[in-house]
Amino acid sequence: MEVLSSVVRLGQSMCLYVHSCIRLPYGIGNMVSLEMLYNMKVGGTNATAKELGNLVELRRLGVWWLGEDESVCNSLLASLDNLRKLCSLSIDHVGDARFDFCWDSWVPCPHLHTFKFTHCTSTLPRWITALLFPILSYLHIQVDKVRPEVDIQILGKLPALRFLRLETTIAQSTPVERFIIGDDAFPFLREGRFCNFLMGPSMFPQGSMPRLESLQFRARASHIADGDLDVYMGHLLSLQEVHISLWSEENCLQVAESS
């Protein structure tokens, strides 16, 4: 469904929330006073993705990226490069293709404090670093594969992070070594969600996550029962809430066979 074309003549509007079933008409680039735009859809053609680059006053942006067209991805990236005032950005890709090569060239806005990035790349983008995200406090990222020994170390160095949701698109049963981060990791994290891949509190040494209040992770039931996975959490001194998703051996076998 497409919204009435007259909406793009509201040139002084500062906030636009689009219903999930509605596409914006051509001309959205004329709404140059917008500071908040939610549920914008790009895909099919490059037109909307290109127009987005005109909205240089945007502080908050939510994008649904539809389809498998690499040229749309490149147009979206070019527009994002123009939006240097963004402090909150959400990008959700609907489609099976991943565009790691395209996204590797992107440099995020340094003012971001909230960032959601799902189904766009197969692994954690290389630009997620403490240098490029100095004030990021909220991060939700979903990729096809998590490399715990690498990715969690990188995320643990983000200096202002308070909320983290890291998840995979499909179940991942890769075993993880004990103590994969340093004892100074995640200094301000209050809520950690590690979803759809094997994880455990033993991966976080004493001294790390000193402010963590809520933890979610996934583990094999047999590893806990046999003592192979240490679920002791006494070193997480601020912890108040724990959610554990248990995998049965049958589920783990199915994941291993499909990997």
Domains and CATH numbers, the chain: 14-247 (3.80.10.10)
Which pLDDT score, from 0 to 100, does residue 199 have? 82
Query: For the segment 112-162, what is each residue's pLDDT rounded down to a tens digit?
Result: 999 999 999 999 999 999 999 999 999 999 999 998 888 999 999 999 999
Q: What's the rounded Cα separation, in Å, for the pair 21 and 61?
A: 17
Read off the amino acid at residue 250. Answer: E
pLDDT confidence of residue 19: 73
Residue recorded with tokens 């527009």: 79
pLDDT digits (tens, 9 = 90+) for 26-60: 788 888 999 999 999 998 788 889 999 999 999 99
Distance CA 162, CA 132 (A): 16
Helix (H, G, I), strand (E, B) or coil at 204: coil
Q: Which residue has the tokens 């004493």?
A: 206
Element (H, E) at 92: strand 88-94
Q: Answer for the pair 65, 74: CB distance below 8 angstroms, yes or no.
A: no
Is the model's pTM score more than 0.85?
yes
Instruction: Give me 143's structure tokens.
Output: 């990729």
Instruction: Please say whether the beta carbons of 34 and 55 come within 8 A.
Output: yes
Is the pLDDT confidence value at 229 over 90?
Answer: no
The pLDDT of residue 128 is: 96
pLDDT of residue 247: 79
pLDDT of 66-106, one tens digit each? 988 899 999 999 999 999 999 999 999 999 999 999 999 89
What are the tens digits of pLDDT across the range 154-197? 999 999 999 999 999 988 877 666 667 888 999 999 999 999 98
Region label for 77, one of left (φ > 0), alpha (ψ between -120 and 50) or beta (otherwise): alpha
